Amino acid sequence: MEVFSTRAEWRAANDEARRRGGSVGFVPTMGALHVGHRSLVEAARRSCDTTAVSIFVNPLQFSDPEDLERYPRPLSADLTMLEAAGVDLVFTPEVTEIYQRFPVMPETRITVAGPAEGFEGGGRPGHFDGVATVVALLFNLTGPATAFFGEKDFQQLAVVRTMVADLGMAIDVVGCPTLREDDGLAVSSRNARLSAPGRRAATVLSASLRAGAAVIEAGASAPEAESTMAERVSAVEAATLSYACVVDPTTLRAPSELIASQTYRLLIAAVIDGVRLIDNMGAVAGTAP
């Protein structure tokens, strides 16, 4: 495994991989890696000749300096995990390598209207601008590749897909299924911040999604599915619902009506133990009885 810290080195390493006739699978991360990240690496290794991973904590997507400061950076452990997973190339740039006038932030920002609006973007102004800008920069440095993202952060995935399509980037974006614990809870680094009772309460998110998906597949309307999800969460005292919505999986807009055999996405977020948790699930609309 080779580790690079400069733009020039990273660009050259990926160019060389392609020059040898190989395809590049790219997994952009902010580090603090867990089994969900490893599953993305494994997907990249199955599909591509060279597996490349970036580790960069992006200040442009944090609105609170204290959140940025607290973000974990276990670089040594992350590199150990990536080497064990068979990664070929790793990019670990300093902030000044990505934003070369830091602490002055770049004047060029990418805004993806539509899928970036509302939900996680609604309460975090500028967050998805920061995500889109750094991902676009990393794509530019990496060059033509297949990029792997988890469906766990479905809104982020939709933002990246829209950006790549609109700007004609030479990137294929692959969404990988959400990893779940045995009880259905989506794997997330935030789960470690939950108390034991909070951890048990958190399973209501996946249970609510399953219930919402079931009524959609039985032919119910989007409002009926949203009500079903909301009722499930409201029954758990420890959980405070942020949203429970049915959306078009590409635009993330609410459908005027559900069309039989079309796939929709159920999004949910709730706060438990002061920790904001998100989850999502796909569902194919059925025909009303």
Residues noted as catalytic: 37
Nearest to 58 by CA among 136, 113, 117, 147: 136
Query: Which single residue is written with the structure tokens 């060029």?
Result: 108
Strand order in the sheet with 239-247: 239-247, 263-272, 275-284
Distance in angstroms (rounded) separating the CA atoms of residues 212 and 206: 10
Question: Residue 248: how many CA atoms within 13 Å on its side-chain side?
Answer: 11
The backbone torsions φ and ψ at residue 103, rounded to the nearest 5 degrees and listed phi first, read -80, 0
The H or E element containing residue 7 is: helix 7-19
Q: In whole angstroms, how far apart are CA 150 and each of 175, 219, 254?
A: 6, 28, 22
What is the CB neighbour count within 10 angstroms for residue 165? Answer: 12
Contact call for residues 272 and 194 (beta carbons, < 8 A): yes
Strand ranges for 46-202 from DSSP E = 50-55, 89-91, 145-150, 171-176
Contact call for residues 109 and 125 (beta carbons, < 8 A): no
Nearest to 45 by CA among 77, 84, 11, 72: 84
Taken in order 239, 151, 155, 249, the sign of the CA dihedral is negative
Residue 15 burial by Cβ neighbours in a 10 Å radius (0-12, 13-18, 19+): middle
